[in-house]
Amino acid sequence: MKKIIVAVLSLFLVACQQNQTVKNEKIKVVSTTSIIGDIVKSIAQDKVEQHILIDVGLDPHGYEAKTKDIEKINAADVVLYTGLNLEAKMSNVFEKISTKNKKVIAVTESIKDSPQLIKVQEDGQEVVDPHYWFDIDLFQKSVDSVYKVLVENDSKNKEFYSTNYKKYTQELAELKKESQEKMKLIPSTSRYLITPHDAFQYFARANGIEVKALQGVSTESEISTKEVLSLIDFIYNNKVKAIFVESTTPHKNIETVRESLKVKGFEVKIGEELYSDSLSDEKGNADTYIKMYKHNVNAIVEALK
């Protein structure tokens, strides 16, 4: 009898210990972009072990999953990607896994049919503009989704996540108000935002500025000579003060536009580098979504006011 009690007790102890390990273990989250990565960081901080697939400064439109990425995806508890065809060359990977396993989630799932999404014609087809994060209200919806996923997969930290989520939501509301106020400093005659690829339509809609780009919403789209020439004419005719480069695309196309305008006798300056599809690294001044948004607003206002 004594032996049985000891055996039962030790089994109970082992079970308790195992339970303890499971309880203390951090869930593994894989995020494709630094922007999703920052949502996770804002809500979960150090409660999860996070890996970001696409390094800062790299272009998500053309990024292809490498063997080491697939290994990380397979080992993760949760995989978060943008969707809306942003990670175009990885969509097959995600769609294939997500049908088998619910752990792969597009953070835009709840807004994929929203009338607030912008549709554009690109290379003869209608496509959704994936840069939804520049509309802070839509971005908030993806924050809601990430929060939900974290709580579902890691309920032991629910309260911690809830506190951070509420705080972050508040900060985003402030960011929206502050950005719209600041953008009003640009006079009506110079409210034109010229960028390399068409990543700022949502930003333009939210902040009342007209946007034109050298290339379509995907960096994989064609750059037509006709459109480049018409953009040059547009800048010339509207005496646009500044044009912009971005951190994830080559600067040379915008520099060529500036040179062509110089030949026509018009000097346009190149504004500070904008962050569109990636945050900066930790040394930069745009290593969080909020800092990235503020940096872009400041750069645009400074150059165009």
Q: Which residues bind Zn ion (CB under 5 A)?
A: 199, 277
Q: How far is the CB of 195 from Zn ion (least distance, A)?
A: 10
> In the complex with Zn ion, which residue's Cβ is closer, 38 or 277?
277
- To which residue do tokens 């869930």 refer? 27
Q: Give the CA dihedral 35, 38, 39, 43, nearest 10 degrees.
A: 180
> In the complex with Zn ion, which residue's Cβ is closer, 164 or 247?
247
| 280 contacts: CB under 8 Å, gap ≥ 6 | 56, 57, 247, 286, 287, 292, 295
Q: How far is the CB of 108 from Zn ion (least distance, A)?
A: 14
- Residue ranges of alpha helices (H) inside the chain are 2-24, 34-44, 67-75, 91-100, 136-153, 158-183, 201-207, 225-237, 252-263, 289-304
How far is it, in rounded angstroms, from Cα 290 to Cα 133? 11
> In the complex with Zn ion, which residue's Cβ is closer, 161 or 244?
244
Q: How far is the CB of 85 from Zn ion (least distance, A)?
A: 11
Q: Is 291 helix (H, G, I), strand (E, B) or coil?
A: helix
Q: How far is the CB of 172 from Zn ion (least distance, A)?
A: 21
Q: Give the CA dihedral 233, 238, 241, 242, nearest 10 degrees.
A: -40
Give just the sign of the alpha carbon dihedral 146, 148, 149, 155. Answer: positive
Angle between helix 252-263 and helix 225-237 axes, rounded to 10 deg: 60
Q: Which amino acid is at 274?
A: L
> In the complex with Zn ion, which residue's Cβ is closer, 199 or 243?
199
> In the complex with Zn ion, which residue's Cβ is closer, 134 or 168?
134
Q: How far is the CB of 114 from Zn ion (least distance, A)?
A: 19
How far is it, in rounded angstroms, from Cα 136 to Cα 170? 12
Q: How far is the CB of 131 from Zn ion (least distance, A)?
A: 6
> In the complex with Zn ion, which residue's Cβ is closer, 42 or 276?
276
